[in-house]
Amino acid sequence: MGIPGLSSETTRKLLGTVVLVLVIGAAWVPIYRTVTSGGIDLDPFRALGRGAAVETAKLLRNSGRIVLVDASFGDYKILAPTTETQIKAFRKAIRGTGLKVAAVEKAAIAPPSMARTGIFMQPGQLAKLLSQHPDVDAVVLFVGLAGSEEFQAARLKGSKPKLVMVANFEPYYKDLLASQSLQLAIVLRPDADTIEHKLRGSQSYFERNYFVVTPETVAQLPD
């Protein structure tokens, strides 16, 4: 059933955008409650980007070449500023460290679905990304994986590069961290505060609202 006055293709894109906003909003509640008439409040995304940079620098001991992976939103580009802001804040925060950005890659997102909340890449992209950059020290993903099976085709345990996930929480992250397939996960806490970034500094907001998890601290993640 279409929308009067709109073509079927335009209707499809419009409905897809609405669904994507809803499914992402369900997972990023503290962020999407900050949407105002002037657009999306990007301060929480800046805080997340800066926090991710600090934790990645710790992981790599302030030295190494990294690849950043942004989401390619396609028809849903209204949300592009969210991940773009994270990456811009990340790059700014690593100035003065020994970290160097070797490349910024784009990963096409999967079609929106009410069955899964968040932004996730399409199947097969992780293997391609790692094959293109086998010699960097870390790949930082600002878009979630298509699924846990992506690792079976993409890499061997302990191989280069290290993988950092800055995305929505998925239960299988615990297994990936425990097996050291994933070296660092930065995911939203279930009890994240909706307005704290307005009341305190960005570092306090990041620490209050995100889990920072390594293979050694994986037990802190919920089931």
pLDDT tens figures, 59-102: 999 999 999 999 998 877 788 898 999 999 999 999 999 999 99
| Complete DSSP assignment for 33-61 | TT-BTTB---HHHHHHHHHHHHHHHHHTT
Contact call for residues 187 and 217 (beta carbons, < 8 A) = no
What is the reported pTM?
A: 0.81
Domain that holds residue 53: 8-220
Residue 2 lies in a domain: no
Per-residue model confidence (pLDDT) at position 115? 63
Name residues of the chain where pLDDT drops below 50.
1-6, 11, 14-15, 18-19, 22-37, 157-158
Cis previous bond, 161, omega within 30: yes
CATH code, domain with 199: 3.40.50.2300
Question: Number of folded domains in the chain?
Answer: 1
Residue 174 lies in a domain: yes
Amino acid at position 44, single letter? P
Residue 167 lies in a domain: yes
Per-residue model confidence (pLDDT) at position 170? 87
